[in-house]
Structure 1
Amino acid sequence: MSTVGLVVEYNPLHNGHLYHIQQSRKITDAESVIAVMSGHFLQRGEPAIADKWSRAEMALRAGCDLVLELPVAYSGQPAQWFAYGAVAALAATGVCDALCFGSESGNADALSRIADRLAAEPESMRLRLGALLKEGLPYPSAYAAAARQLLEASGEADAAFGLAQPNHTLGLHYMLALRKLGSPMRALSIRREKSDYNQSSITDTAIASATALRKLVVESGGALDGLAPYVPGSTLAVLRREAAAGKAPVTWDAFARPLFHLLSSLPASELGTYAEVTEGLEHRIKGALRELRSWRVDELLDLLKTKRYTRTKLQRTLARILLGHRKEDLDAERLAAGVQYVRVLGFTARGQALLKRMKKTAAVPVVHTAADGDWPYLAMDARATAVYAAALPASRPADAWRDYTVPPVRA
């Protein structure tokens, strides 16, 4: 049984994602699809529009067979560690033959050649990257510039390739992760159609980015009807159900009070111990709090944003503080060790067959709830669920413990 792996967030799952699932199965001739999905807090630092079990259900109803959770230790990271954690999870299953990701060009061969050149992490590139970061460039821009300079110095034609584009950056890091992990998985790419990764406007009648769709929901006061042309019917049904239960759509505003309590009550010296709080950002946060006119996270982000501190960087920082993640919890040595388990969020009948195979092939334990082990990253995911649940007005105290009590979704 051949299997293709996808790295996803589905925030929410839309028609472009459905196309990606279908085309990934087609171009790899795969019988099964495994999705590694971010949980309650995502790669850009945002809370998910709906909880992870609901989004896993969206994935299963759209054609995925098995949904695994990317630990929050990795899901809230820049491209390097986000990609590494996701690829490590797919590789650890022992059943994944290929990885298929979306990109601006769909040109996996060019990214693969660049990955071959950069896999050894040349000293000249590391020095250039460090210098650019000190100059204030955000990590993605600095990495792309350092890589381009190295390639140009080598006289390689691929130097002109669009590494600064977000999905090219992720794709490159997927390929670098495959090499670091020694994984035999093939890497393929599908060209994004009709909408860019973070495009906030809608320019097509059926395809729109998740960013644009979330904006549409916010601007409509939480109404979901406007999503109908852009998402599968199954996605809309799940979102409507969760909205009726008072558990969606979720935005940063749901977390404003607990977040501002922490930011206001903790001294700057303690804020500085949290992951992503770098270069004196704790003092900038304290200063911005005195300028606030409302208890809104968006206003705080606007006050904090600079050339060095992008919105994405700041959202990741606020998420780490909210979730209680310290620098030592997420140091490079721990992250480089890879996943210690794979967590199942949902499966179909075909996914159940994959799970049976994984009992023999998986390099790490396969768990269904947080009660199945005591790994630090699994405990972090359970705490993230508690924080997420407590912020929802319609949630019950029992919802904070769902990681221990709720079995995987079956579809």
Structure 2
Amino acid sequence: MENHTSFNVVGIIAEYNPFHSGHAYHIKKAKELSQADYCIVVMSGDFVQRGAPAVFDKYTRTAMALSCGADLVIEIPSLFATSSAEDFAACSIALLDRLGVVQSVCFGSECGDVKKLSAIASVLAEETEEYKEALRTELKKGASFPQARTQALISCGSLEDEETSILLSPNNILGIEYCKAIHRQNSSLSPLTIQRAGSGYHDPIVNPDQFGSATGIRKLLKEKEDNQTNSDSMFLQIPDSARQIAENSFPLFPDDFSSLLNAALLRLSMENLPFEPYADVSVELAARIKKQLPDFLPFEEKISSLKTRQYTYTRISRALLHIILGITSEQISLGKEAGYAPYARVLGFKKASKDLMGQIKTRGSIPLIAKTAGAESNLSELAGSMLRRDFYCSHIYQTVLQNKYHINNKNEFTRSVIIL
């Protein structure tokens, strides 16, 4: 690794909630497609973008990814790991770009056509007058925002009538956001995509003859915990090299955070503090939450009781999670001012790719953090506050994990990064 052109690195943006064979396939194909020597994964920490705790903690998921082809895993700052798809993508791209060694980013998509996704993304990123006028026209007709956006893209010639399903598929939508972030940040990253194989993103059914979805695997894990099944079939969806890690791990689910949620809501009400400063909490949603305060519902029932046509399940889940984690709209705005990713915190790496970290330290434009001791010494005040928020969020997760399973869990200051 004497110069930047002597090695090739591909980046992957992931949650691995949990890691399964489809993810291992993605890593393998990403390396093949990009002809990369190394694969760097930027991954959500202990809480994920849909507004929920990760089913396995971040160190477990890191170990699984490293055992299946990833060379280095870096944590996405919690402010943006639990934010909108647009902010999640913007932070992830900024993080990969600022490492200084990544040439391409590879993501899964339903359509498998990176040129089409990039073309749509460029229109959305630039927001030309033609597009904005078409969007306004459709919204005035009473169309929902997704419908209006689709029709506006058709009007601008970026989408054909028969291609409208592209904007209805979750991996396509995220892929467009990644391409949009690359465009807006003037990043040199090249987008690559692999067509999604196996079950759909939200498919709750796990078919043993194809790649399962993370949704389906989480469902089976929950059913096993609730004694609805004695089967360990979900573990067959995990590659052999990572299966034992999963089998020896302790899953958490949204309802495990019900007491924390109700306590946070009661405290805010008791102290007469507003709910609206928290990210994703509108005035209307705050009023609905206050109205239902004494119900003490479990986390997922609380979401369902608050859901309306205007507020999706995921939007409400993120809003409630932000209240638990103390994440406000102001903090997110400040995080954007800091460039989304003012540091890169290492969760784990392979011994064989240790030189890669040396190259990042040399070529990267942000500090690479492998140890918590003294981590803030090279950070600005704002970046330091973001890192402390990461620690806080993980300590919340670890508190619930320890309480549920009565295990002694190391905290963020005593736990070492994963090295395989």
Aligned-pair CA distance for 1:295: 4.0
* Distance verdict in 2 for CA 1:257–1:94, change over 3 Å: same
Q: How does 1:99-248 map to 2 (within 5 A)?
A: 99-123=105-129, 125=131, 142=145, 144-158=146-160, 160-161=163-164, 162-221=166-225, 225-242=232-249, 248=250
- The yes-or-no answer on 1:318 pairing with 2:320 is yes
Task: Report Cα offsets for 1:168-226 as digits up to 9, x if no partner.
Answer: 11101101111122211111111111211111122452411000110111112266722
Is 1:388–2:394 an aligned residue pair?
no
Alpha-carbon RMSD across the aligned residues, in angstroms, is 2.5
Contact 1:136 1:307 in 2 (8 A): no
Provide structure 2 residue ranges, at least 5 long, that are not aligned to the other structure.
1-6
Matches within 5 A, 1:59-70: 59-70=65-76
Q: Find the counterpart in structure 2 of residue 255 from structure 1.
A: 257
- Amino acid of the residue matched to residue 117 of structure 2? L
Match of 2:355 among 322, 332, 353: 353
* Secondary structure at 1:35 match in 2: strand
Q: Residue 44 in 1 paired to residue 50 in 2? A: yes
From 354, 361, 386, give the equivalent of 1:377: 386
Tell me the residue number matched to 2:3. none
SS at 2:167 equivalent: coil
> Which 10-residue stretch deviates more, 320-329 or 109-118?
109-118
| TM-score of the superposed pair, with normalisation by structure 1 | 0.90
Between the aligned residues of both structures, percent identity stands at: 33
CA contact 1:227–1:236 (8 Å) conserved in 2: no
Work out whether residues 11 and 102 of structure 2, in 8 Å CA contact, stay in contact via their aligned partners in 1. yes
Change (3 A) 1:17 1:134: farther
| 2:53 counterpart SS class | coil
Change in 2 beyond 3 A, CA 1:383/1:395: farther
- The aligned residue for residue 19 of structure 1 is 25
Residue 233 of structure 1 deviates from its aligned partner by 2.4
1:310 CA drift (Å): 1.0
Matched position secondary structure for 2:194: strand
Distance 2:182 2:45 in 1: 22
Alpha carbons of structure 1 residues 385 and 10: separation in structure 2 relative to 1, 3 Å: same
The answer to whether the 8 Å contact 1:100/1:189 transfers is: yes
- Shift in Å at residue 149 of structure 1? 2.6
Structure 1 residues 336 and 163, CA gap change in structure 2 (3 angstroms): farther
- Report the TM-score when normalising by structure 2: 0.88
Structure 1 residue 311: deviation in Å? Answer: 1.0
Aligned residue in 2 for 1:245? none
CA distance in 2: counterparts of 1:341 and 1:39, whole angstroms: 14
Match of 2:9 in 1: 3
2:78 aligns with 72
User: 5+ residue gaps in structure 1?
Assistant: 243-247
Task: Return the alpha-carbon distance in structure 2 between the equivalents of residues 270 and 341 of structure 1.
Answer: 31
- Give how far 1:98 is off: 0.8
CA contact (8 A) 2:343 2:366 kept: yes
- Whether the 8 Å contact between 1:102 and 1:192 is mirrored in structure 2 is yes
